[in-house]
Amino acid sequence: MTIIPYIISHVQVPIIRTCAHPIPHFPTTPPKPTADKYRFQTYCSGHHQDRKMEAVDVVELRSQFLQVLRSRRSRDGAKIAVFAFKRRFPYPNWTDISSSFPLSVEPVKPVAEPLYQEIPRPRFSAAMESCPRANISDLKVRLHEENLYLTTEAGEQGRLPVLILSLTEDNPGKRPAVVFLHSTNKCKEWLRPLLEAYASRGYIAVAIDSRYHGERASSLTTYRDSLVSSWKKGDTMPFIFDTAWDLVKLADYLTQREDIDPDRIAITGESLGGMHAWFGAFADTRYSVVVPIIGVQGFRWAIDNDKWQARVDSIKAVFEEARIDLGKSAIDKEVVEKVWDRIAPGLASSFDSPYTIPIISPRPLLILNGAEDPRCPLAGLDTPMSRASKAYKEANCSHNLKLMAEPGIGHQMTSAMVKEASDWIDRFLKK
Q: Which helix (H) or strand (E) holds 194?
A: helix 192-200
AA letter at 302: A
Taking the model in full, what pTM does it have?
Answer: 0.84
Cβ(386)–Cβ(9) below 8 Å: yes
State the DSSP string of 83-129: HHHHHTPPP--GGGT------EEEE-PPPSS---SSSSPP---HHHH
Give 210's DSSP letter. P
Cβ(71)–Cβ(245) below 8 Å: no
Phi, psi of 223 (to 5 degrees): -65, -45
Q: Which of 299, 292, 267, 297 is nearest to 385 (CA)?
A: 297
pLDDT tens string, the chain, 431 residues long: the values are 544 444 333 222 222 222 222 333 333 333 333 323 333 232 233 333 333 334 468 889 999 999 999 887 754 444 444 444 444 434 333 333 334 567 899 999 999 999 999 999 999 999 999 999 999 999 999 999 999 999 999 899 999 999 999 999 877 789 999 999 999 999 999 999 999 999 999 999 999 999 999 999 999 999 999 999 999 999 999 999 999 999 999 999 999 999 999 999 999 999 999 999 999 999 999 999 999 999 999 999 999 999 999 999 999 999 999 999 999 999 999 999 999 999 999 999 999 999 999 999 999 999 999 999 999 999 999 999 999 999 999 999 999 999 999 999 999 999 999 999 999 999 999 97
The helix/strand/coil state of 133 is: coil
Cβ(182)–Cβ(211) below 8 Å: no
